[in-house]
Structures are given as C-alpha cells and as structure tokens.
Chains A and B, each alone.
Chain A
Amino acid sequence: MAEETITLEVTRYRPREDREPRAQAFTVPYRKDWVVLDALNHIKDRVDGTLTYRWSCRMGVCGSCGMMVNGVPKLTCAAFLRDYLPGPIRVEPLAYFPVIRDLVVDIEDFMGKLRRVMPWIIRRTEQPLTAGEYRQTPAQLEAYKQFSMCINCMLCYAACPVYGLSPLFIGPAAIALGYRYNLDSRDEGYHLRQPILAEAVGVWQCTFVGECSAVCPKGVDPAAAIQRSKVAGAKDWFLSILLPRGGRS
C-alpha cells in the first residue's frame, strides 16, 4: 500500500539573494500524531537541510516555533497535520515581522518593547532577605495569574493588524505583561510602568480587534489587559485633573 502523504507549502527566503520570499512545496509522510513541526523536522533531516526555522521544546512551553499555518498564527508543535487534511498546508513566517531567513523572523522589536514595559517586580525599597518572601493570598495571585502564563511566542503580534499597520505599537504581549505586574500585589512600579502603557503608541493604538486573545495558545487575554489599561489610564487622567497634586498614593 502506498504511504499516505501530505504537502506543505513552505515559505523560503534567502537573505541578500532573494528579493522576496517564495513558496516551496514539500511532500512529507502523513502520520496521525505528527504536528507541523514534525513535518518541518522531517524536511530538514531528510529532504533539505537548509530549511531554517526556530523550535525547541516541542510542547508549547518555549514559544519558539510560532508560524503562520494556513494564514493563522500557530505554535507548530501544537498544530496537528490531521487538522489540515487533505492539505496542502501553507507554512509561513509570523506575519508583520521582518524575515531573516525562511521561517525565522527578527524579534528584536518585540524584545525592545518587552524591556520598555518593565515586566518585573519593582519595589520602592527591597526588604532584606531575612524578612522572608513577599506573600500573597490566593485571590491576589488570581488577579494576575492568567497574564503571567504568556510564553512570549508573539502569535498575538502576528494576529494584530494594528501592529501590522503601526509597527511602533507596543503590542499585545508586552502590554499584557506590563499589566500583569501592575496587578501584582507585590509590585510598586505602577507609576513607572503605566505612563509607558498609556502613551500614544501604547494601549490607545489598540482598536480592539480581539484576535490577539483568540490566537493565544496559553489562554492569556491580552485584549482584556489592553482595554483595562485604557480604563486605568483614563482614571489616572481624570484624577490628575481633579486632584492635580496627586490623587494616587
């Protein structure tokens, strides 16, 4: 019996040689338990060793293997071939990001934005180690927990047309992570972080398309984080008008 196969149309781009990306078709064995990443690994191991893409953990934790699968941002380690029968499956680099080679995109822009929102706990004064850990109640943990599940896979950026149209937009994941620390009861950095989230290229760029939340593989809701940061920003502005000498403690 002939082996079952499926075709992948993979984007190829060779820097300094190609003017623009092109699609190359590869026919690979079809296995019910294979994901798109398995098919790419098969191509690299058996067909064309020059195919370039990022991957690491193969279990939806590292966030490296995000690509466009049939036009939708997906972790390729979680995109089963069986869900795209009979094919062909279009595999492209994450949308809106500059392409370095084949399926590898340049993530410098995102890394810079992530640093800007200061996604770490900021304290006015650190308590000494002898004072023990900063404690939280389960309710205080619950307030930010879903936003802390972000794995920086950037699928949300590839789903956001606002980021595509306005590349300066801080974007869904970075804002969600900034918001996550604003919600953390141990954090005292709201006054440093919120002005960055609330600037012109921050939350106000978002027009609430909502696809960032729809494509998130970890169930994070960046769209909610952005809209709630808008509410916080608007509240701060009203308070600054009503109480010019500082309404916030």
Chain B
Amino acid sequence: MSAPPAPRPGLYYPKMPATWWLRRPAYLRFMLREVSSVFIAIFLAVLMVQVYRAGQGPEAYAAFLERLASPGWIAFHAVALGFALYHSVTWLKLTAVVQVVRLGEHQVPPRLVAAGAFAFWGILSLAILFAVLLRS
C-alpha cells in the first residue's frame, strides 16, 4: 500500500462535502440502497425476537404479535418491505454484472442473466406465498 501523496504547493485540493450524495440522483439511489440494509437488519432482529417468543409458548407469542400490530410497527414493516424490494431489485441487477455466464464460447448477455434471476425470484416468492396461503 502506498502512502498518501504529500500535497503539492500551488495546487488546489477540492474537499468532499458531507452532502456529496445529494449531488446526483445516481448517488442518492446508491445511498438508499446502502441505507436499506439498516431497515433489513432491524427487521431480522425483530424476526429473531419473534422466533424466541414463539419458543416461550403461545401466550408470549400472542402478546408479541399484539405489540407488532401497533401502527408504528406496521409503518416500520411497510417501509422495511419497500427497502427490501428495492435492495433485492438492485442486488439481482448487479448480480448479472458480476456473474459472467457462458454458453460454450459465447457469453450470455447480462440482461438475460438478470431476467433469469428475476424470474427465479418471482417463482420462489409465489411458491412461498402459495405455501403460506395454503396453511392459513
């Protein structure tokens, strides 16, 4: 690793403002993608508590569900769902850029790889939805 170059006299070194991510829509979309992980992390923490409560018996679990039914938690889950969907879409789109898929000597176009990933995500989500609806 090289050391940072020493500032040279006469040159102007621009500073990065704290609001750099507001300069361009693409930067803002990037920051939203990064921030989405915070909401997903909180959702997963809540999910773990939910599993723990389920292990404590039906009454504890019912009491926990009642707390989750408050408007605040419903609003949080709605926002978390939005961020989870946004994160998933960006992740699948980027996966197609990262993963080179070859058929023989030819590379499968990244758009086709992304389309396959989205189709798989859709089918899997529908299967889970179907299984949940079947049980309820």
Contact = CB atoms under 8 A, between A and B. Distances in A.
A224 B20 contact: no
A189 interface: no
Interface stretch (B9-17, B56-64, B69-77, B128-136): B9-17
B30 interface: yes
A165 interface: yes
A16 B30 contact: no
A71 B97 contact: no
B16 A112 contact: no
B94 A98 contact: no
Contact of B11 (A15, A72, A210, A231): A15
Given A20-B12, A207-B34, A221 B26 contact: no
Contacts of A168: 1-2, 4
B26 A209 contact: yes
Given A161-B16, A168-B1, A199-B1, A211 B97 contact: no
Given A99-B14, A165-B16, A211-B24, A106 B8 contact: yes
Interface in A118-139: 137, 139
B66 interface: no
Contacts of B27: 161, 209, 211
Interface residues of B, number: 28
Interface in B94-135: 94, 97-98, 100, 105-107
B98 A108 contact: no
A77 interface: no
A109 B9 CA distance: 15
Interface residues of A, number: 43
Contacts of B107: 142
Given A71-B23, A161-B27, A227-B97, A167 B4 contact: yes
Residue among A96, A164, A207, A210 having the largest count of chain B Cβ atoms under 10 Å:
A210
B12 A98 contact: yes
A53 interface: no
B101 to A, nearest CB: 12
B26 A210 contact: yes
B21 interface: yes
B12 A21 contact: yes
Contacts of A207: 30, 34
7 nearest interchain CB pairs?
Answer: A15-B10, A139-B105, A98-B11, A227-B98, A99-B12, A164-B16, A209-B30
Given A100-B10, A109-B5, 19 more contacts: A13-B12, A15-B10, A15-B11, A15-B12, A16-B9, A18-B12, A95-B14, A96-B14, A97-B14, A98-B7, A98-B14, A106-B11, A200-B1, A209-B26, A210-B94, A211-B24, A221-B97, A227-B94, A231-B98
30 contacts: A13-B12, A71-B23, A72-B24, A95-B14, A96-B14, A96-B16, A97-B14, A98-B8, A98-B11, A98-B12, A98-B14, A99-B11, A106-B11, A109-B5, A112-B2, A116-B2, A142-B107, A161-B27, A165-B16, A167-B4, A168-B2, A207-B34, A209-B26, A209-B27, A210-B26, A211-B27, A221-B97, A224-B98, A227-B97, A230-B98
Interface of B: 1-2, 4-5, 7-14, 16, 20-21, 23-24, 26-27, 30, 34, 94, 97-98, 100, 105-107
